[in-house]
Amino acid sequence: MRRHEEQQFRDFAAREAGSLRRTAYLLCGDWHLAEDLMQTALIKVYRSWPRLDRHGELQPFVRRVLLRTWLDEKRKPWRRSEQSFSAVPEVVDPAAGPEDVADRMHLRGLVHGALLRLPPRQRATVVLRFFDDLSIADTAVALGCSEGNVKSQTARGLSALRGHLGRYRSAPALSGPRALSRLS
């Protein structure tokens, strides 16, 4: 790889690593595994970097690599029975009172726990649509499926989330297209 291409990749990786790690965490529920998934995805992108068309948008390609890396990891036999339920880190709003922060942390924990119970494709669709704020078309490109599939997986995923969260009195109402993104 040429020196300027390597520098372009380094700049790209530095700029996108945080977002990729967050998406990986939302998919797998474990910060350590999310770090591994992000690094593996970036290694795969690095190997393809000289052949990539960087004039277009790289995000769909990188998301697809990350999603496939995560799905491959889920297929490994020793991962099938593993479940991680760690708390989502809180970014504290200085204007918020202690009750507001505690309530938001509790709601995030409930939503994240319910999110981890979704099947992989539904979870990936919900994360990409509502946490990464992708359109239906962009989500379809990232997942390598049709827009109709994205719509049905999203509907099923949100329905399952409502079911999981319905058991809790303090669970957030998941109505409207931006309900989940307000929690992130």
The dihedral built from the CA positions of residue 180, 83, 160 and 17, taken in this order, carries a sign that is positive
pLDDT over threshold 80, residue 78: no
User: pLDDT of 111-140, one tens digit each?
Assistant: 888 888 899 899 999 999 988 888 999 999
Cβ-in-10-Å burial (0-12, 13-18, 19+) of 180 comes to buried
pLDDT over threshold 80, residue 1: no
pTM above 0.85, yes or no: no
In a domain, 178, yes or no: yes
Average pLDDT of 83-92?
50
In a domain, 18, yes or no: yes
Same domain, yes or no: 167 and 108? yes
Mean pLDDT, all residues of the chain: 79
Same domain, yes or no: 108 and 179? yes
CB of 65 closer than 8 Å to CB of 41? yes
Same domain, yes or no: 106 and 70? no
User: What's the number of domains the chain is made of?
Assistant: 2
Residue 112 to residues 60, 85, 94, 126, Cα–Cα distance (Å): 24, 8, 23, 11
- What domain range is 173 assigned to? 100-183
User: In a 3-state reduction of DSSP, which class is residue 100?
Assistant: helix
Phi (first) and psi of residue 138, to 5 degrees: -65, -40
Same domain, yes or no: 104 and 74? no
- Can you give the CATH number for the domain in which 44 is found? 1.10.1740
Angle ∠(84,103,26) on CA atoms, nearest 5 = 30
